[in-house]
Structure 1
Amino acid sequence: MSTYRRFNSLMRTTFLGTSDSAGRALDAVPGELIRPEGVRRYLIAIPDDAPPEGRPLVIVLHGGGASAAQVMGRAFPPSPLSLLLEVAAREPFVVVAPDAGEGGWADGCARSARAAGRDDVAFVDAIIARAIVEHGVDPARVHVVGVSRGGWMAYRIASAIPHRLAAFAAILAPMPESGPGSAPEVALPALIAGGTADPLLPYRGGKYRYAFNFMGRLRSIDDSVAVWRCLGGLDDAPATSTIVPGSGQCGTSVTRTVWGADPAGMQVELYRIDGGGHAEPSRLKRYPSFINWLTGRQNGDVEIAEAAWTFFREKRNARMSAGV
């Protein structure tokens, strides 16, 4: 490679990152709902080659300071969760990315005056209801995945409307110690992922000076996992495996721990990213180096969109399946 090409590659990696594709992706189009707080917006992707009924639904919740466009790969920097659009084209299932709007999610953990008057749980509930009626979504196969503040919102949704969900995932998001989303009462299959070197939402939890009054105290990732394990009665020894490194990304490694042996039953799954920062693991969607300098290392051995769908794929909401 010439000196110019090496320099150009370095500049692109530093300031743009890389965004590769593994296959065809669904196209996400805008949608709107009229809510008491006003017009709420979202992006929706519907497979055109799937049966008109019985489709799973995956709701994707963006992080703080981001948007539905960013988490769906339409805005800089493209999120690794945007690969769900490729997974959905292959499987297929419906993908919806709600937009929090100004102030971010009313997640009950981060304090925002602009979000205080909104009911984001009701917003997501309304999206689910519309998807069931208008897009043939199976009510027993509704899943939520959120990253960072979107992960806090996922906890809140799982706590407030567990009857709507078959499973959920919270990426780079320890549970809050108090407030909405901190004390769920109904067991749900849960996938939780966190980096041990995350400088923004630390793996070990607690309250940090940099946050000032922005957020309350957080549980550790391990304690967050324990909440859902206890609810699900998962006391047996888990299955633990080390993800084989394959990306050449130095300084991180991943351990996967699963409680519950039945992929169609109650499970809690933990991805512990040793040395990982506040960046969703991905081989294909790499954040720019200048972002990683601020947020910590991004692991490339796990494709988090694929991991989330693998966890969701066999899960069913038993109450909905029984017509209760």
Structure 2
Amino acid sequence: MTVTRYLPLIAAFTVLQAGAATIVSETVQRPEGPRHYLLAQPATPVAGKLPLVILLHGHAATANLTFGRGRIDDPAAAWLAVADREGLLVVAPDGSKGSDDKQGWNDCRADAPTNPKTDDVGFIAALIEQAVAQHHADPSRVYLSGASNGGGMVYRAAIELGPRLAAVAVSSMLMPAKSLCPLPKRAVPILVAHGTEDKIAPYAGGEVGHFLLTGRGSGLSAEESVKFWRELAQLPPTPAVTQVPHRDAADKTALVRYVWGSDPQGAQVEFLKMENAGHVQPSIAHRMSWLMSSILGQQNGDVEYADETWAFFKDKRAAP
């Protein structure tokens, strides 16, 4: 697959300030038409090539929401502070509308008819090319993180773009039970976070969605999803286990970190088990409202998920 012919991109260009990073609105031309994304850059210029983190929103969400410019205080907005502190480029693209008129991603679920039909793997590849060509992104330090349907798209990208990705992260999403995609042939370092009380992508596997959200397919269990990537990486079955220190006694959730592979620069799989938590990333600074918690489930407050993810990403490089 080549994406070069779909460049140059139509760079755009409303510069906005949010958090600690500068946000630029841009567009890339794709066969289905222009695709929009937001690019966050460190407020203070950084010399040399910069790591690139691409964040994929969930079903019915947006790039604006990812960066905290919406009605929900999305935990992904914490990446703006990480971008400035660590000298990163962070991209938040918009998905496409599916048959339910909600924005999302064409992930691998064969039984999710409401997914869009766009070439989202090609879109992600074009984002990487643009960032390398125009924004000094380091092609050996490209990382992908997604939540819910965006996490499903991360699984697909790990299969089809694996050699270009240094590491990936998935929260609140399952490997598909019925897949459109071939089995991956190459292991990719991966962090998976999943709540045991997730009612949308159930921890034990099965139908994805709820009574108001249908046509969203089905998945393996969270633990089977992690096992799949651990076995592909040929890592031993026994992990290092850490109970994450609890910050608030009123918080009835808890985090347990499982890590397979002791070399942070090598093949490694991490599973962040969010006990009693729902379909939401943990965060200290970006908390779900009572209303959103009643829909998505309880949110853990013991770590900032963006910091946890960057700690997993930062030492990893794509193979030359």
- TM-score calculated relative to the size of structure 1: 0.87
Q: 1:114 to 1:239 in 2, by over 3 A?
A: closer
The structure-2 alpha-carbon separation of the partners of 1:95 and 1:249, relative to structure 1 and needing over 3 Å to count, comes to farther
CA 1:136–1:224 in 2, change beyond 3 Å: closer, same or farther? same
SS in 2 for 1:291: helix
Q: Does 1:100 align with 2:101?
A: no
Is 2:189 aligned against 1:194? no
Shift of 1:29: 1.6
**CA-to-partner distance for each residue in 1:276-302, whole Å, 9 max, x for gaps?**
011111111001101111211111012
User: Gaps (5+ residues) in structure 2?
Assistant: 1-17, 99-103
Q: CA RMSD in A?
A: 1.9
Distance in 1 (CA, whole Å) between partners of 2:240 and 2:182 is: 26
CA contact (8 A) 1:60 1:96 kept: yes
Residue equivalent to 2:140:
140
CA contact (8 A) 1:259 1:268 kept: yes
Q: Residue 74 and residue 208 in structure 1: after superposition, are their counterparts in 2 closer, same or farther (change >3 A)?
A: closer
Query: 2:163 touches 2:319 (CA, 8 Å); kept in 1?
Result: no
Equivalent residue letter for 1:66: A
Alignment match, 1:20: none
1:53-89 superposed Cα distances (whole Å, 9 cap, x missing partner): 3210000000111100001111120210110110110
**How far did 1:121 drift?**
0.6
**Separation in 2 of the partners of 1:61 and 1:191?**
15
Report if the CA contact (8 A) 1:175-1:181 is conserved: no
Q: Judging changes above 3 Å, is the alpha-carbon distance between structure 1 residues 255 and 287 closer, same or farther for their aligned structure 2 residues?
A: same
Q: Is the aligned partner of 1:250 residue 2:251?
A: yes
CA distance in 2, matches of 1:281, 1:48: 26
Indicate if the aligned counterparts of 2:208 and 2:216 stay in contact, CA closer than 8 A. Answer: no
In structure 2, how many angstroms separate the alpha carbons of the residues matched to 1:33 and 1:261? 39
Query: Residues 133 and 115 of structure 1: is their aligned pair in 2 closer, same or farther, counting only changes over 3 Å?
Result: same
Alpha-carbon distance change, 181 to 48 in structure 1, aligned in 2, over 3 angstroms: farther
Report whether the alignment pairs 1:35 with 2:26: no
Equivalent AA in structure 1 for residue 133 of structure 2? V
Residue range with higher mean Cα deviation, 293-302 or 180-189: 180-189
SS of the aligned residue for 2:77 comes to helix
Instruction: Give the CA deviation at 1:263.
Output: 0.9
Per-residue CA deviation, residues 125-145 of structure 1 (Å, 9 max, x unaligned), is 000001011111111000000
* Partner residue in 2 for 1:285: 286
* Cα offset, 1:99, TM superposition: 0.3
Note the C-alpha offset of 1:115: 1.3
Question: Which one has a larger percent strand, Structure 1 or Structure 2?
Answer: 2
Query: CA, structure 1 residues 98+208, in 2 after alignment: closer, same or farther (shift >3 Å)?
Result: closer
Is contact 1:33–1:39 with CA below 8 Å preserved after alignment? yes
Identify the range of structure 1 (40-49 vs 167-176) with the bigger mean alpha-carbon deviation. 40-49
Cα distance change of structure 1 residues 249 and 35 upon mapping to structure 2, 3 Å threshold: farther
Higher helix share: 1
Contact 1:249/1:299 (8 A) holds in 2: no
| Aligned AA (1:259) | W
Match of 1:71 in 2: 66
TM-score scaled to structure 2, two decimals?
0.88
Q: For residues 104-129 of structure 1, what are the alpha-carbon distances to aligned partners after superposition, in whole Å with 9 as ceiling and x for unaligned?
A: 1111327345712x101100100000
AA at the equivalent of 1:199:
K
**CA offset at residue 207 of structure 1?**
2.7
- Structure 2 counterparts to residues 59-208 of structure 1, below 5 A: 59-103=54-98, 104-109=104-109, 111-112=112-113, 115-116=116-117, 118-180=118-180, 183-207=183-207
> Shift of the alpha carbon at 1:182?
6.9
Counterpart in the other structure of 2:221: 220
CA distance in 2 between partners of 1:78 and 1:99 (Å): 17
- CA change 1:266–1:208 in 2 (3 A) is closer
Amino acid at match of 2:25: P
Any conservation in 1 of the 2:252–2:276 contact (CA below 8 Å)? yes
Kindly indicate whether the alpha-carbon contact (under 8 Å) linking 1:53 and 1:136 is maintained by their aligned counterparts in 2.
yes
Q: Which runs of 5+ in 1 are unaligned?
A: 1-22, 320-324
Given that 1:156 and 1:182 are in contact with CA atoms closer than 8 Å, whether structure 2 keeps it comes out as: no
Range with bigger deviation, 180-189 or 294-303: 180-189
Match of 2:230 in 1: 229
Residues 84 and 209 of structure 1: CA distance in aligned 2, closer, same or farther (over 3 Å): closer
1:3 aligned partner: none
Kindly indicate whether structure 1 or structure 2 has the higher relative contact order, using CA contacts under 8 Å at least 6 residues apart.
Answer: 1
Q: How many residues align?
A: 296
Cα 1:182–1:172 shift into 2, 3 Å = farther
Name 2:41's counterpart in structure 1: 46
Q: Is the 8 A contact 1:62 1:99 kept in 2?
A: yes
Q: Give the 3 Å change call, closer, same or farther, for CA 49–210 of structure 1 in structure 2.
A: closer
For 2:89 and 2:220, the matched residues in 1 are separated by: 32
Per-residue deviation, 1:51: 3.7
Per the TM alignment, residue 219 of structure 1 is displaced from its structure 2 partner at its CA by: 0.7
